[in-house]
Amino acid sequence: MTNEQISEHLIALEHAALTAWCNGDPSPYLELYSPEFTYFDPFTPRRWDIGEVREMYEQIRGKLSVDRFEMVSPRVQLHGEVAVLSFNYTSSSFSGMWNCTEIYRRVGPGPDGSEDPGIWKIIHNHWSDVHPKQ
C-alpha cells in the first residue's frame, strides 16, 4: 500500500467519524481514540485526557445535527507509524472556519492479519475556531 493510499484511508476514517458526529453519534470517534489520547478545543480550560473527553461526548450524544460539512484541503504527513492529518472545517451550522489537527498512530495489523493499512488510532486532537484578533 502506498503512502497516498494510507493517507486516503486515514482521511476516510476521519470523514466517517465526522459524519457520525454531525448526526449526534460520537461513538466512531470514541472508538478511534487511543488510551493515551489527549485533546484541545477552544472551550476546554486545559488539555483533556480520554476520560474527560468521553464524559463530554456522552453529554452531547444525540443532541447534534449538522446538515452539511466540509473537510477543506485535508493533508496527511505520514512518517512510519505516525500520521499528522490537518484540515480546515466548515459546516452549515455556523459561518466561520475551524482548524483541526488529528494525530493518528498505527497500532497493529488489521483484524485479518493484513499489515496495510492496519489499525490506526488517534493519539491527539486539536480543534480551534478561526476568528479576528481582539
Positions touching a second copy (CB under 8 A) are 36, 38, 40-47, 72-73, 75, 77, 79-82, 84, 86-88, 97, 99, 101, 103, 105, 123-124, 126-133
Dihedral, CA of residue 86, residue 71, residue 65 and residue 22, to nearest 10: -50
C-beta neighbour count of 61 within 10 angstroms? 12
- The x, y and z cell numbers of residue 115, run together, are 499489515
Do the Cβ atoms of 85 and 11 come closer than 8 Å?
yes
Supply the minimum distance, in Å, between the C-beta of residue 38 and a second copy. 6
**23/44 with CB nearer a second copy:** 44
Query: At closest approach, how far in Å is the CB of 47 from a second copy?
Result: 6
